[in-house]
Structure formats: C-alpha cells, structure tokens
Structure 1
C-alpha cells in the first residue's frame, strides 16, 4: 500500500515542493493550508488545516483517516516569519508567531500520535531553521520559535521510542521562497533608535532569501530521511557557511561568535 503523508503549509514554497516531489514518488500526499484553492493540486490532495485552530487540525486528521485509515508521515512545515527590534515588536505578533511555529506544530503532533501508536509506526519531521540554532539580530522571535521546536523534538524522540514512532528536525537555511512576503515586519519607525540598523539588516535578509537554494533540495533531503530506518536527531540543509556556522557556535567562545554575527550583519 502507498504510504500516507500529511504536510502542513503545502500551498507554496518548501511545503509545496516537498508535496509534489513525494507525490511523484508514489506516496499518497495530503497537503494542507488555511484556504486551499483546489481540492486537488496535481497528484496532491489539498485539504484545509489551520495549525492555530484545534478543530481545524482534528477535522483534517479525521478526513485523512476516513479516506486512508492510516497516517505514516507528518511533515510539520507550516510557519511564518517575523522581523523587528525585540523592544518594538508588538506582543500580539510575538504570540501569533509562537502559535503558528511552535504550538501549532505541537497540536498537529498530538492529533496524529494516537494513530501512529496504534500502528506501531510513523515518522514526524519538524521543519525548523538554521536560525533556530542562534539568536539573530532583528529575528530573535523567529529564532526562539524554531529553537523551541528543535529542543522539544529532542525530548519527544525519547518519549516515543517505545512506540516505534520516529521524530526528527530538518533545519533549512536560505531558500528561494516567498517567505519574505508573508513575514510580519515590525515597521521601521522614523523616531526609532534601531531605524538604521534594522533597515539595513532587513534588506540583507531579503537579499539572502532571493539568492537562496532551490526548494527541490529540501524535498530530496526530506525523502531521504523518510527512507531512513534510524533518522538522526537533527538535519541541516543549506549553504556550507550556514551549516558551518552551527559548528562554530559549538566551539567558539560566545563573545567571539557574537562578533562574527555582528560583522556579518554589519552592526
């Protein structure tokens, strides 16, 4: 039987690339978004799912189980970006991105685990970010949401071991997607003490996304992980220096690493 895959945030970018890649590999793929335009997107079955709405999550999982009677893989990809000086970022926007990037992923996990435990099999892949390994200037909240999901995954893996349910993270670096368009940007205020540095950093971030890797690279890595009997705790996908930056953080004194980031962002 074809393995059944649930992918959140599959209407664009990395999620869409993964969905179509896996459908071409003969998986039964359910892609989700808050407002899917069509029920079928090629070979991908698109259904409605809002990760911040418990009822929406429950209904989506119920739909899949009613049609397939199994869920073999879940790829928690839905997320949103956020930028801004920490001092000036509105509290409600901070909570909104945590609800999407962190709590939303946890709710999807809880919705599928009873089925996976019953099956005595399943794999959950949480898409985090290389930004989640470090506190980045003017992206501190985004880094925090992805870092939290990575740490939670480490704990979940050990709790799920006895049920033969696998869990891992995949941390992408910069990819050529429309994430910048959907990101919440705290406004650059004329009277802000952060005006110049924030504006320059924001432009630099957008340039990195525009020059990012092809989303198909993420799709191929995800597929390779799915085929692994014993997935690693964490995977990173990006340009060499992006992945190397994580290794540097482990070995350099904190203040040295901080200086590297300050130089990189010209701060």
Structure 2
C-alpha cells in the first residue's frame, strides 16, 4: 500500500458504517490517507480500517476541531466527502417540526458547515475536491419521504451554485447521488409512527414496508466506493453523478421527459397509493 507523502488526504463524514465505511476502506486500500468521522468513535473500539475522528456535523466546534487536527498533522486536505446523513419518513402532516429541523441540520446544514470549515485550507493549498453524497430521492418528491427528498434536493442545488463560486480557487465540487444500497440506513432513520386511526395509516404503512424492502434488496456499497474513486481521479468532475440500479437512474430521465401528472401517476402506482 502506498502511504508516502504524495498520498491524498481524505476526510469522510459518517465513515463508521455503510457507504462511508465502504468508501473509506476502498480509498485506504488505494493508498489514500483516510479520516472517517463518527459522533461517538468509542462505540467502534475494534474499528481498524482507517482513522476515525470524533465529529458531529451539527456542532461547529466539533467540525473546527476535526479540521484543525488534520491540518496540524498534514498541513493539507485534498478531498472532503460529505457523506453523513439521516433518513426520515412519514406523512408530512404528522412529522414533528423538530424532526424536520433535525434532518435538515444533518443532511443540509451539516455539509455546508463542514465545507465552510475546510475551504480556507483548500484555498491556501490552491486545490481541493468536495464530494457531496446526495440521493436519487433528491431528484423527485417521493411520498412519505418529502423531508428527505427536500434536504437532498437542497444540497444538489446548493452544489450547482457553490461549485461556480469555487472554480477560481481551483477547488472542485460535485454531487454523487446513490439509489438504494444495502446499508443500515433504515435502522437509523426517523420513522414517524404509523398511527392507528390516522387517515394515512394504511397507505403510509404499505409505503414504509416497501421502502425498507428497497434498502434490504439494495446494491453493494462497494459500487458507490468505486464511483467515488472514479470522481477523485477525474480532474474535471461533472456537476452530478448518479449511482444505482438502472430503473432508479432511469426514473430521473423519465421525470425529465414525461408530463408531470404522468410521472406522478407512475410514482403513485409504484408506492401503491
């Protein structure tokens, strides 16, 4: 394994499991110096795939401390992968406002604040790459996943704008949107409860079951790792990348070409609404 001074330094938020861990392991095996993060690294005492640092994307002091640690040790940071994220499901009418705010804090404001923290260092070194892990769900409003779709769509649009602001500093920014992958995201997701007697009881219950099946039957996270590695090797990355099953990626194409109501009908049939 190549770990000389020319190895790129990579920071991955949410690197203790799932897609983040797969990306970290893959890049470490390619000779990159990888730092993953977790809110509680002590929970992963036997973790030895790469270095895990404590970071909570909702805590600016925690973010600043982690970036400072890397800067003091290496004097640079070549790649930031904003991977930390949280799922959320439920009828929008029944999701508590504090849960919506909490989700946007993790999925949207978190990546923004981590990026803000690394930009001065990247600007000083005259280069850098920021990869925002979004979601194919961010390309369409999905029933009972309105908050998740909205948070990921917000990050997609922010990336489109922000990358233009960063070009003159030789800093690249891009989105990588995964579809359904076999990870533990469903277990960590906020599920609004299926309330007995609720007007959404039957339809939300069916949709929730369907969503969990999609994750359980999802693709191997290593496919995301290979896609992210390809982006890192690309000196001129595209604005958007999509990684997932054919039909998941094709659904974005369909949305572009079909009338809105036809596409809506397809989604409703898919979710049995």
Could you say which TM-score interval applies, normalised by the shorter chain? over 0.9
Q: Which residue of 8, 18, 24 maps to 2:23?
A: 18
Q: Which residue of 42, 54, 59 maps to 1:53?
A: 59
Q: Does 1:217 align with 2:235?
A: no
Residues in 2 aligned to 1:139 and 1:201: alpha-carbon distance in whole angstroms: 10
Deviation at 1:39, TM superposition (A): 7.3
Q: Which residue of 2 aligns with 1:164?
A: 170
Residues in 1 aligned to 2:47 and 2:200: alpha-carbon distance in whole angstroms: 43
Q: Which residue of 1 aligns with 2:7?
A: 2
Q: Which residue of 2 aligns with 1:144?
A: 150
Equivalent runs, 1:1-267 vs 2, <5 Å: 1-37=6-42, 38=44, 41-267=47-273
Residues in 2 aligned to 1:251 and 1:121: alpha-carbon distance in whole angstroms: 37
Deviation at 1:43, TM superposition (A): 4.4
Deviation at 1:40, TM superposition (A): 8.0
Partner secondary structure for residue 41 of structure 1: coil
Deviation at 1:42, TM superposition (A): 2.5
Partner secondary structure for residue 194 of structure 2: coil
Contact 1:236 1:243 in 2 (8 A): yes
Deviation at 1:172, TM superposition (A): 0.3
Residues in 2 aligned to 1:96 and 1:215: alpha-carbon distance in whole angstroms: 25
Structure 1: unaligned runs, 5 residues or longer: none
Deviation at 1:41, TM superposition (A): 3.3
Residues in 2 aligned to 1:102 and 1:215: alpha-carbon distance in whole angstroms: 22
Residues in 2 aligned to 1:15 and 1:124: alpha-carbon distance in whole angstroms: 14
Change (3 A) 1:251 1:171: same
Residues in 2 aligned to 1:188 and 1:175: alpha-carbon distance in whole angstroms: 24
Partner secondary structure for residue 75 of structure 1: strand
Residues in 1 aligned to 2:229 and 2:164: alpha-carbon distance in whole angstroms: 23
Structure 2: unaligned runs, 5 residues or longer: 1-5
Change (3 A) 1:39 1:107: farther
Query: Any runs of at least 4 consecutive aligned residues in structure 1 with deviations exceeding 6 A, and if so which?
Result: none
RMSD: 0.9
Q: Which residue of 1 aligns with 2:3?
A: none
| CA offsets 1:110-169 (integer angstroms, 9 cap, x no match) | 000001111110000000000000000000000000000000000011000100000000
